[in-house]
Amino acid sequence: MDPGDLTALRLTLELATIVTGLLLLIGTPIAWWLTRTTSKLKGIVGTVVALPLVLPPTVLGFYMLLAMGPQGPIGRLTQSLGLGLLPFTFSGLVVTSVIYSMPFVVQPLQNTFTAIGERPLEVAATLRAGPWDTFFSVVVPLARPGFITAAILGFAHTVGEFGVVLMIGGNIPGKTRVISVQIYDHVEAMEYAQAHWLAGAMVLFAFIVLFALYSLQQNTRET
Amino acid sequence: MIADGPNGVCMKLRLDYPGFCLNVNLNLPGRGVTALFGHSGSGKTTVLRCVAGLERAPGGFLAINGQVWQDDANAIFLPTYRRPLGYVFQEASLFPHLTARKNLEYAQKRVPFKSRKVSFDQAIGLLGIEHLLDRRPASLSGGERQRVAIARALLTSPDLLLLDEPLAALDLKRKREILPYLERLHDELDIPILYVSHSPDEVARLADHLVLLANGSVVAEGPLHETLARLDLPAAFADDAGVVLDTVIGAHEDHDSLTRLDFDGGSIYVARRPEGAGRRLRCRVHARDVSLTLERAEHTSILNILAAKVVGAAATESPAHVLVRLQVNGTPLLARITRRSSNNLGIAPGLPVWAQIKAVALLD
């Protein structure tokens, strides 16, 4: 691997780690709300969150590019906050990745929350636990397998981004050039040997992630 | 919390569901076990859930020994977690991610120090669960789980204990294992207990006060002995009609291996009991086990013959039988006899009769 590959690798891991953290932070309340609410907005919010599942990444990337651009609502906001413009920056990648990978975090969380059911929450209430207390002392521990699944899926999905990255971040070494883009560049430049190394590493990574996930689910089912 | 409400357990609850309407208006004693009895779908669990605040009956009123928990007219509704109650659910409700000990601690540490009335050791001693503390709920039997769940409810130092068919999910053996612990609760706790059940046996054994529910309404309510002896009860107890006698062991007659049980107005003999004289025993006399004669039979194998007076009679579900209410001095008794016998004997209010008791079921 050349230094460019290593930089891309480091950048990818950094991006995926930050995005996963943000996803759990933002996705958990969304998933909890979607599980518990009886609001009419539930259908709409659920659909919007799931949209990235079916949209081509380039479409999402295109709209995000416009939204974060100088005339877009996000762009105006970031400019007025003195943060400048997000496209072609690492931060821009983070913001877009969070939206892009959101369903992969919200859906497993929502499934686990639903599976926990009403009863443990009622029990906690009869034991004097308030809503926040109940969430952290009962829901989070019971939903642990869901959180792990959500984190792994969110991380892996962010690592695998390509279309969205190209639309938003372009291809700036050390700033927005992640592994998938790096592989693309190698192939473009007919450097198949180097592409092989990186691509092989990605296959290995995907295998390890999925294997970890399956054995983890096996374990939780047994206990 | 507002502390000027009425004494005892006072509730006015009305809840409309499609196809079901709950409408109860009860003033229950402030201590002892009140059984909410009825078939499934009669609304007894819903009453309990409303009392716990897990369900909200709009416009309702609820006060427990002076503390108002719900008074919608004055916009008072305490959420469940602010009501000092203990709740034992029908099926296992222990947190699966915590050991038995941690489940108990979960309850205890959420109660401020100064309002703790039940100590950890007291709770585990009362339920006999010392040896289970380090196990996870998954490795406990159904009966053990319910005992831990009851101990956990006690550790909240509740002002009111709600038990929702705590034995329903258990087989007969486990029921027998856990019933003595429930009796100890009854004897040792100075708080009201609402006990939901559809088992006449459990009610007869544990309750002091009885509420009969059908289709969301109260059909009968009152002290257990009185209520069980009513003739106008619906078919709820049907074949199980009978009364409960609270007796004290009077003496043992060892040459015949018998024990004399005294109650208000008479005494009966049962097979020798292991308990010493003076112990309280509750027993149940089924109406179907009581026959009537006009003269005291001299040559009979029946041991327990009591002088009684007919109070009234009522038809039963079976057209061949009538249910006769008797009074043995102060104690009510029910007899189920055939209509033909009733006519032959000329059963009418005021008639003195001899009640022959064929069998006495001891509830301990």
List, in order of start, the domains of chain B with CATH numbers: 9-232 (3.40.50.300), 242-362 (2.40.50.100)
Query: Under an 8 A CB cutoff, do A128 and B111 touch?
Result: yes
Q: pLDDT, tens digit, for every residue of A102-115?
A: 999 999 999 999 99
Model confidence at A221, pLDDT cuts 50, 70, 90, reads low
Kindly state whether residue A81 falls inside one of the protein's structural domains: no
Least CA distance to B105: which residue of chain A? Answer: A127
Query: Under an 8 A CB cutoff, do A127 and B156 touch?
Result: yes
Q: What is the pLDDT, as a whole number, of residue B1?
A: 45
Kindly state whether residue A61 falls inside one of the protein's structural domains: no
Kindly state whether residue A76 falls inside one of the protein's structural domains: no
Query: Under an 8 A CB cutoff, do B107 and A125 touch?
Result: no
Kindly state whether residue A77 falls inside one of the protein's structural domains: no
- Chain B residues within 8 Å of chain A (Cβ atoms): 52-54, 79-82, 85-87, 89, 93, 95-97, 106-107, 110-111, 138, 152-153, 156
Q: Which of B22, B26, B2, B1 lies closest to B12 in space, CA to CA?
A: B26
Q: Mean pLDDT score of chain B, rounded to an integer?
A: 88
The residue whose two tokens read 């969430």 is A135
Query: Under an 8 A CB cutoff, do A126 and B95 touch?
Result: no
Q: What is the pLDDT, as a whole number, of residue A84?
A: 85
Structure tokens at B8: 């005892």
Minimal Cα–Cα distance from B305 to chain A, Å?
50
Residue A218 in contact with partner chain B when CB distance is under 8 A = no
Residues of B in contact with A142 (CB under 8 A): 95-97
Least CA distance to B162: which residue of chain A? Answer: A126
Q: What is the pLDDT, as a whole number, of residue A122?
A: 95
Kindly state whether residue A13 falls inside one of the protein's structural domains: yes
Least CA distance to A138: which residue of chain B? Answer: B95
Q: What is the pLDDT, as a whole number, of residue A73?
A: 92
Minimal Cα–Cα distance from A119 to chain B, Å?
7
Q: What's the distance, Cα to Cα, between the start and end of chain A in Å?
A: 42
Q: What is the pLDDT, as a whole number, of residue B238?
A: 62
The residue whose two tokens read 């007869």 is B204
Indicate which CATH number applies to the domain containing A96.
1.10.3720.10
Query: Under an 8 A CB cutoff, do B81 and A129 touch?
Result: yes
The helix (run of H) or strand (run of E) holding residue A184 is helix A179-188
Nearest residue, CB atoms, B81 vs list A119, A125, A142: A125
Kindly state whether residue A78 falls inside one of the protein's structural domains: no
Distances (CA, A) of B286 to A129, B222, B319: 45, 19, 19
Residue A125 in contact with partner chain B when CB distance is under 8 A = yes
Query: Under an 8 A CB cutoff, do A122 and B54 touch?
Result: yes
Model confidence at A160, pLDDT cuts 50, 70, 90, reads confident
Query: Under an 8 A CB cutoff, do A120 and B93 touch?
Result: yes
Minimal Cα–Cα distance from B81 to chain A, Å?
4
Cα separation, B91 vs B72, whole angstroms: 31
Model confidence at B64, pLDDT cuts 50, 70, 90, reads very high
B55, B81, B94, B105, best to mutate vs chain A, most A CBs in 10 Å:
B81
Q: pLDDT, tens digit, for every residue of B313-353?
A: 888 878 898 999 999 988 889 999 999 999 999 999 999 99
Number of domains in chain A: 1
Q: pLDDT, tens digit, for every residue of A24-68?
A: 999 999 999 999 999 999 999 999 999 999 999 989 999 999 999
Residue A141 in contact with partner chain B when CB distance is under 8 A = yes
Burial class (CB in 10 A: 0-12, 13-18, 19+), B217: middle
Query: Under an 8 A CB cutoff, do A128 and B107 touch?
Result: yes
Residue A12 CB neighbour total at 10 angstroms: 23
Q: Which of B111, B93, B89 lies closest to B103 in space, CA to CA?
A: B93
B32-B331-B334-B272 Cα dihedral, nearest 10 degrees: 80
The answer to whether residue B2 scores a pLDDT higher than 90 is no
Query: Under an 8 A CB cutoff, do B138 and A125 touch?
Result: no
Distances (CA, A) of B197 to A70, B177, B267: 69, 17, 30
Cα separation, B163 vs B194, whole angstroms: 6
Selected residue with higher pLDDT from B187 and B150 = B150
Instruction: For residues B78-83, give the mean pLDDT.
Output: 95
Query: Under an 8 A CB cutoff, do B110 and A141 touch?
Result: no
Kindly state whether residue A198 falls inside one of the protein's structural domains: yes
**Please, which residues have CB within 8 angstroms of residue B176's CB and are 6 or more apart in sequence?**
none
Sheet holding B290-293, edge to edge: B290-293, B352-357, B304-315, B321-328, B331-338
Nearest residue, CB atoms, B110 vs list A120, A123, A128: A128
Selected residue with higher pLDDT from B204 and B63 = B63
Model confidence at A220, pLDDT cuts 50, 70, 90, reads low
Query: Under an 8 A CB cutoff, do A126 and B80 touch?
Result: yes
Residues B8, B65: contact at Cβ < 8 Å?
Answer: yes
The answer to whether residue B4 scores a pLDDT higher than 60 is no
Distances (CA, A) of B289 to B192, B231, B243, B334: 33, 16, 11, 9
Q: Give the domain range for residue A47.
A: 3-54+88-222
Residues, chain A: 223
Residue A142 in contact with partner chain B when CB distance is under 8 A = yes
B343-B345-B351-B355 Cα dihedral, nearest 10 degrees: -120
Residue A96, amino acid = T
The answer to whether residue A14 scores a pLDDT higher than 70 is yes
Q: What is the pLDDT, as a whole number, of residue B86?
A: 94
Q: pLDDT, tens digit, for every residue of B216-261?
A: 999 889 998 888 877 666 555 666 788 888 899 999 999 999 999 9
Q: Mean pLDDT score of chain A, rounded to an integer?
A: 90
Minimal Cα–Cα distance from A107 to chain B, Å?
23
Residues of A in contact with B96 (CB under 8 A): 142
Query: Under an 8 A CB cutoff, do B156 and A125 touch?
Result: no
Q: What is the pLDDT, as a whole number, of residue B361?
A: 81
The answer to whether residue B356 scores a pLDDT higher than 90 is yes
Q: pLDDT, tens digit, for every residue of B172-220?
A: 777 777 777 777 777 777 889 999 988 888 888 888 999 999 889 998 8
Residues, chain B: 364
